[in-house]
Amino acid sequence: MRICIIAEGCYPYVVGGVSSWVHSMIQTFPEQEFILLTIIASRSLSGKFAYELPANVAEVHELYLEDVEWESVNKHQKTRLKSEEYRALRSLILNQEVEWDALFDFFKNNDISINRLLMGEDFYHAVLDCYNLQYPDIVFSDFLWTMRSMYLPLFLTLAMEVPQADVYHAVSTGYAGILGSMGKHFYPSQLIISEHGIYTREREEELIKAEWLQRLYKKIWIQQFKKISQVAYEKADIVTSLYRQARDLQMELGCAKEKTRVTPNGINYERLASLPGASPENEGFIHIGAVIRVTPIKDVKTMIQAFAYAKERQPKLKLWIMGPFDEDQEYAEECFHMAETMKIPDLVFTGRIQITDYLGWMDATILTSISEGQPLTILESFAARVPVIATNVGNCSGLINGEDDDLGQAGIITHIMNVQEIADAMVYMARHPKERKQMGEVGYQRLMRRYKIEDMKKTYESIYRECAVSQGISWERPPQL
């Protein structure tokens, strides 16, 4: 079976939870042929992979959301739309029963210039109609240019040539969901949407926090992301989420209940069972490790500030921030400067690491994110019997406090951006070794009940088999399931 994995802003360019999941999925089914359809910002990132691609990846196709059109100046392009084409464009801009199938066909069957489309009369008049009906009190020129910037990445997506596959497996809604919907429209196929975080909600949170964007335009952008996510829910055959609350949110956003399935993450716990202890120079400390990318969504600044306060109360604490800091170098530099200015001792930025080299001698791990799905780093800590401090985002509370068991707490949950609570949690871990050890054991037991890699493999083997049967394709069961 030919499976097209569609990923935005992650695999195989960035190391992290979603990327690790995609890599594991491809390796899990070596008999199947995989195609990667990846969405990245620009051509400057092309081919810069952080992973060695498995042998069963046959092709890689890239979409650049900040692209310029690479075309001959003298190339002939149509500039005016037919009446049915304009109607479809207008339905999109006014968000009135969007004619997605007509839009898919329009972009595939016409050799158009996206620049000319955005600057042309048809787009102008559709935007003017939207302005007069919904936003007549703002400056039209600002509104027009906002709409052009907003629709450029969507039009680039619609103009993408989607490779043929039997199954399209999008790792989010949004632009990935659009590509998956296009694949299903053009070819006899099935569409799976697997959300690790709820794309629409994550974009909404980012836009609300954006200081550069006026309140009204935030609303317009949020509506745009909801609109392009809804088509993925409508076209999908199966929509998965990592935990029940995420499934509820998918349904709230328009996904039909019968399509939804809860498919928890799973990890290879055996590789984390026997790990080396601390080296002599690190003995005598209470080690807290953060296995994260140094990016704003992980809220590393709050973590640093909280550690500084905790360190004053418990001098034996040592914080290890373990992960790459090249994804957002400006933010990383701000974090380094903050730690240096505050003169915080025993705070280490390691850069990218092998987790097996460090996790065995951590007394606790910490996650101060402002948004998460079901973090693999928590499950990895559980595999090593290490308790976790985490903010109450995504499924962190469900993992740490339990959802379907009475095992107890496997760590401590705090509110986001609450320096005092996070500092208190660090101090508690340092001062209560017996409770800390018990929490680590609870985490291990919870992992073994529900979050093993074998469990995840069986779940997706069943989903892929179902898609194969619906396509009349024979399915060979992968080994070791």
Instruction: With respect to residue 78, please indicate whether it lies within any of the assigned structural domains.
Output: no
In the block, residue with structure tokens 């595939």: 108
Task: Tell me, yes or no, whether 362 and 409 share the same domain.
Answer: yes
* Pairing label, strands 364-367, 388-391: parallel
Whether the CA torsion 220, 225, 226, 232 is positive or negative: it is positive
Mean pLDDT: which of 67-71, 112-116, 248-252, 403-407 is highest?
Answer: 248-252
Domain boundary at 203, 232, 262, which? 262
Total of domains in the chain:
3
Instruction: With respect to residue 125, please indicate whether it lies within any of the assigned structural domains.
Output: yes
Task: Tell me, yes or no, whether 118 and 253 share the same domain.
Answer: no
Token pair in block for residue 319: 């914080």
Over the Cα atoms of the chain, what is R_g?
Answer: 24
Whether the CA torsion 348, 349, 350, 353 is positive or negative: it is positive
SS3 (DSSP) at 23: helix
Instruction: With respect to residue 72, please indicate whether it lies within any of the assigned structural domains.
Output: no
Task: Tell me, yes or no, whether 90 and 236 share the same domain.
Answer: no
Q: What is the mean pLDDT of residues 85-109?
A: 95
Instruction: With respect to residue 77, please indicate whether it lies within any of the assigned structural domains.
Output: no
Task: Tell me, yes or no, whether 169 and 255 share the same domain.
Answer: yes
pLDDT band, very low/low/confident/very high, at 285 (cuts 50, 70, 90)? very high
**CB pairs under 8 A, 24+ apart, for 266-269?**
266/379, 266/451, 266/452, 266/453, 266/454, 266/455, 266/456, 266/457, 267/376, 267/379, 267/380, 267/383, 267/447, 267/451, 267/452, 267/453, 268/453, 269/383, 269/447, 269/448, 269/452, 269/453
Q: What is the mean pLDDT of residues 241-268?
A: 94
Amino acid, single-letter form, for residue 417:
M
Q: Give the C-alpha separation, 171 to 481, whole Å.
A: 23
Q: Give the C-alpha separation, 187 to 164, whole Å.
A: 7
Condensed to tens digits (0 to 9), the pLDDT of residues 116-156 reads: 999 999 999 999 999 999 999 899 999 999 999 999 999 99
Domain boundary at 233, 262, 291, which? 262
Instruction: With respect to residue 113, please indicate whether it lies within any of the assigned structural domains.
Output: yes
Task: Tell me, yes or no, whether 419 and 308 share the same domain.
Answer: yes
User: Quick one: pLDDT at residue 214?
Assistant: 80
For the domain that residue 381 is a member of, what is the CATH number?
A: 3.40.50.2000
User: Quick one: pLDDT at residue 79?
Assistant: 62
Domain boundary at 209, 237, 262, which? 262
pLDDT band, very low/low/confident/very high, at 202 (cuts 50, 70, 90)? confident
Q: Give the C-alpha separation, 291 to 321, whole Å.
A: 6
Instruction: With respect to residue 477, please indicate whether it lies within any of the assigned structural domains.
Output: no
Instruction: With respect to residue 464, please indicate whether it lies within any of the assigned structural domains.
Output: no
Task: Tell me, yes or no, whether 385 and 329 share the same domain.
Answer: yes
404: Cα separation from own chain's centroid: 25
As to burial, measured by CB atoms within 10 angstroms (0-12 exposed, 13-18 middle, 19+ buried), residue 367 is: buried
Instruction: Tell me the whole-structure pTM to 2 decimals.
Output: 0.87
Q: Give the C-alpha separation, 25 to 5, whole Å.
A: 10
pLDDT band, very low/low/confident/very high, at 283 (cuts 50, 70, 90)? confident
Task: Tell me, yes or no, whether 291 and 252 share the same domain.
Answer: no
Q: Are the CB atoms for 389 and 288 separated by under 8 Å?
A: yes
Task: Tell me, yes or no, whether 383 and 250 share the same domain.
Answer: no
Q: Is the per-residue pLDDT at 74 higher than 80?
A: no
In the block, residue with structure tokens 């469900």: 398
Instruction: Residue 345: give the domain boundaries.
Output: 269-450
User: Quick one: pLDDT at residue 72?
Assistant: 40
Q: Are the CB atoms for 400 and 390 separated by under 8 Å?
A: yes
Task: Tell me, yes or no, whether 334 and 297 share the same domain.
Answer: yes
Task: Tell me, yes or no, whether 116 and 254 share the same domain.
Answer: no
In the block, residue with structure tokens 């990895």: 380
Task: Tell me, yes or no, whether 136 and 91 share the same domain.
Answer: yes
Instruction: With respect to residue 237, please indicate whether it lies within any of the assigned structural domains.
Output: yes
Task: Tell me, yes or no, whether 230 and 108 share the same domain.
Answer: no
